[in-house]
């Protein structure tokens, strides 16, 4: 907005927002100290001359001149390329943020022309599809974080993300496909959720677009997939619990969930056990049949197993029902520490593996946008699976057992 040659709400490279800036500011107040020290007042004058015309757009050249590097270095740093040192990447990203630089999705697409590929005419829109009601998302952290991660990554890369929650607003596959076409959607991210999975017919809608799946590995159709490394979750958990001094690690898994996840948690737990000298003292109990949570009907069997095997710590995917079960145990067993194979800071567990679901969702978006830049659609000849390895976390206030 221009008022008498002044420009309102134009961000300043030396801080502040909602201020009034123009070329006159530079003449009246001089260049900011940080830029004056680098002798770059000429650049600032050009910058504010651009702003005064109302077309303030930060370029890689401007960032490069301020930092004192090449434009290609700036380009690599803004894409977090490991060829650029961490310190220089952080410096370039900070300067870009101060100047108000934003990703231009169309420019990114046009760069593919240099590589000899003709771009499509669709607008840069993505669709994110999930089949989990809003009420369930409020209580289930895993799908919510993957949805948030996919959406944020699309916005970071300059794409508009439409979210289609089929549990709240049911659509048939043909209708969903028609909406994608009408809105110019180029790529689709399917958020896989155990228990409320997307049908094969719905997944096949993605054949006309760049497509990837987050959270669950579907064998048919075999799209590119981003998932948590659940084998690593199980292995890391067992090894870390042993390092903390626990001698009998008891693992309680909902059978239906682990089967749907290709028994990855169970496999990871076994992998961790065999790395320990006395792996026979680590115990696994499958609960229920097809349930993805610990059913109440399984509590008697779990109780008998605990009284028989006497684990000194529990490892599970269902913290809520595990604590409910412990309330039915004798007093001496109710205080058994509970760790999570899929950890969140919610106060229910003593610790566990943070599976980094935000990064899983972001990785799925990266897979889709990579296909868009290569102008690929449909089922890939060779499926790519990106596995995000989680990190071990201890909740605040947890005290490990005394080693004796």
pLDDT single digits (tens) 346-376: 767 889 999 999 999 999 999 999 999 988 9
The CATH code of domain 230-354 reads 3.40.50.2300
pLDDT single digits (tens) 159-211: 999 999 999 999 999 999 999 999 999 999 999 887 788 899 999 999 999 99
Mapping DSSP onto H, E and C, the string for the chain reads CEECCEEECCCCCCCCCCCEECHHHHHHHCCCHHHHCCCCHHHHHHHHHHHHCCCCCCCHHHHHHHHCCCHHHHHHHHCCCCCCCHHHHHHHHHHHHHHCCCCCHHHHHHHHHHCCCCCCCCCCEEEEEECCCHHHHHHCHHHHHHHHHHHHHHHHCCCEEEEEECCCCCCCHHHHHHHHHHCCEEEEEEECCCCCCCCHHHHHHHHHCEEEEECCCCCCCCCEEEEECHHHHHHHHHHHHHHHCCCCEEEEEEHHHHHHCCCHHHHHHHHHHCCCCCHHHCEEEEECCCCCCCCHHHHHHHHHHHHHHCCCEEEECCHHHHHHHHCCCCHHHCCCCEEECCCCCCCCCCEEEECCHHHHHHHHHHHHHHHHHCCCCCCCCCCCEEEECCEEEECCCCCCCCCC
What pLDDT, on a 0 to 100 scale, did the predictor assign at position 103?
A: 77
Query: Which carries the bigger pLDDT value, residue 209 or residue 335?
Result: 209
**CATH code 3.40.50.2300 region(s) in the chain:** 125-229+357-391, 230-354
From the candidate CATH numbers 3.40.50.2300, 3.30.230.10, 3.20.20.450, 1.10.10.920, the one assigned to the domain spanning 125-229+357-391: 3.40.50.2300
pLDDT of residue 391 exceeding 60:
yes
pTM for the full model?
A: 0.68
Read off the pLDDT band of 118 (50, 70, 90): very low
């Amino acid at each position: 907005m221009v008022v008498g040659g002044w420009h309102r709400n134009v961000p300043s490279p030396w801080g502040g927002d909602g201020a009034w800036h123009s070329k006159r500011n530079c003449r009246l107040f001089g260049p900011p100290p940080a830029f004056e020290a680098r002798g770059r007042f000429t650049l600032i004058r050009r910058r504010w001359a651009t702003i005064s015309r109302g077309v303030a757009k930060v370029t890689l050249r401007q960032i490069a001149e301020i930092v004192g590097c090449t434009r290609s270095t700036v380009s690599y740093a803004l894409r977090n390329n490991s060829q650029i040192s961490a310190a220089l990447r952080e410096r370039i990203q900070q300067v870009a943020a101060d100047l108000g630089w934003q990703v231009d999705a169309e420019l990114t697409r046009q760069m593919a022309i240099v590589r000899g590929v003709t771009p499509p005419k669709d607008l840069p829109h993505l669709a994110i599809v999930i089949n989990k009601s809003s009420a369930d998302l409020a209580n289930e952290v895993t799908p919510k974080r993957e949805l948030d991660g996919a959406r944020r990554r699309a916005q970071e890369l300059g794409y508009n993300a439409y979210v289609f929650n089929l549990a709240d607003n049911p659509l048939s596959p043909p209708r969903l496909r028609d909406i994608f076409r009408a809105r110019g959607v180029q790529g689709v991210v399917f958020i896989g959720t155990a228990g409320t999975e997307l049908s094969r017919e719905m997944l096949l809608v993605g054949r006309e677009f760049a497509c990837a799946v987050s959270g669950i590995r579907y064998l048919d159709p075999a799209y590119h997939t981003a998932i948590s490394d659940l084998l690593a979750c199980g292995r890391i958990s067992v090894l870390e619990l042993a390092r903390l001094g626990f001698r009998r690690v008891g693992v309680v898994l909902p059978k239906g969930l682990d089967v749907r996840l290709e028994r990855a948690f169970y496999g990871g737990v076994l992998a961790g056990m065999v790395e320990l000298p006395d792996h026979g003292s680590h115990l696994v109990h499958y609960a229920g049949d097809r349930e993805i949570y610990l059913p109440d009907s399984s509590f008697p069997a779990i109780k008998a197993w605990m009284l028989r095997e006497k684990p000194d710590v529990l490892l599970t995917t269902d913290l809520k029902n595990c604590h409910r079960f412990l309330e039915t145990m004798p007093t001496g067993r109710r205080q058994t520490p509970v760790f999570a194979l899929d950890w969140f800071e919610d106060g229910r567990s003593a610790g566990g593996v943070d599976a980094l679901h935000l990064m899983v969702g972001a990785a799925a978006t990266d897979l889709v946008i990579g296909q868009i830049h290569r102008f690929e659609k449909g089922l890939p000849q060779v499926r790519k699976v990106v596995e995000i390895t989680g990190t071990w976390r201890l909740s605040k206030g947890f005290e490990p057992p005394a080693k004796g």
